[in-house]
Structure 1
Amino acid sequence: MSVQNSNSDRALSRKQRLQEKQRRQLAVVDTVDKAEAKVRKAEVEVAMAVAEAVQVFGGMQEASDGLDMPIQTVQRFLGLAQDEAAGAANVAEAVGTVVEAVGGA
């Protein structure tokens, strides 16, 4: 009987170790996901600022020179700003559709 209890204790211990390992792995994945979301938000903010700089400076090349940023980087941020604006427009359109479907507010 004592042999079975001993095996049972080791199995439980292995199970607990596995659960703790999985818990730590999930915590790390959660931390990375949150950090990626923060990076994405920061990139969008920079993209919007670059888009504004292009307007203020009067063009991409001028903004590139004024910001001391390669033209390819300015173009990448402009693309990101356009994608973000298109996404916002799609959300606004979807909200409008839902409001109309519910009976107009």
Structure 2
Amino acid sequence: MFRTTLVLLLVASTVYTFVAPPSQATLACITCVATVKGVEAKVLAEGGHVAKKDVDAICLKEVPTHSAEHLCEEYGEHEVDVMVTMIKQGVPPKTICQELKKC
């Protein structure tokens, strides 16, 4: 009985050790999704053109942390164009961020 319990405990702890925990969203992904949602609201309200400076401001507003600040600065004109184009096509924010290689 004691030996069976010990074996079961050993197996259970081994399985627990080798099962990977669920993946966590990265800060880049969280920042991107929040930014795209903010840009989406602006695009839908104003009908289209969004400048890089607008995206930077939205990003800093949506994710106001020091660690995310450099991520906001990484968005260039190309990323802004991709965001706006895909938003107009009705693509979800998470998919847009996957396309931008942020998630």
**TM-score interval, smaller chain:** 0.3 to 0.5
TM-score, with structure 1 as normaliser: 0.38
TM-score, with structure 2 as normaliser: 0.38
Relative to its length, the structure with more helix (as a share) is 1
Larger radius of gyration: 1
